[in-house]
Amino acid sequence: MYELKNYGHKYMYRLIPDYKMKAYLYDKYKSKQSQDIYANVNKLSYHAQDNEQSQS
């Protein structure tokens, strides 16, 4: 309730990690399914390109 009363919104500052966040290369993530990561990225980039073309 503190955030709502003081800021007028819920920003969920309590969920922000204590460590500095940064983007890592996909190879740095520990995953047994690294191919799935690449497949999902390819799907996302394909849909992004498709959306850009439909908006023009």
**pTM recorded for the entire structure:** 0.27
Residue 15: pLDDT band with limits 50, 70, 90? confident
Q: Amino acid letter at 16? A: I
Q: Assess whether pLDDT exceeds 60 at residue 52.
A: no
- The rounded Cα 4 to chain-centroid distance in angstroms is 25
Give the C-alpha distances (Å, rounded to integers) separating 7 from 2, 10, 17, 39, 41: 8, 8, 20, 40, 36
The ranges assigned to domains in the chain are 20-56
**DSSP tag of 43:** H
4-11: average pLDDT: 84
Residue 7 has pLDDT above 80, yes or no: yes
d(CA 8, CA 44): 34
Q: What is the pLDDT of residue 55?
A: 56
Q: Which amino acid is at 6?
A: N
What pLDDT does residue 22 have? 81
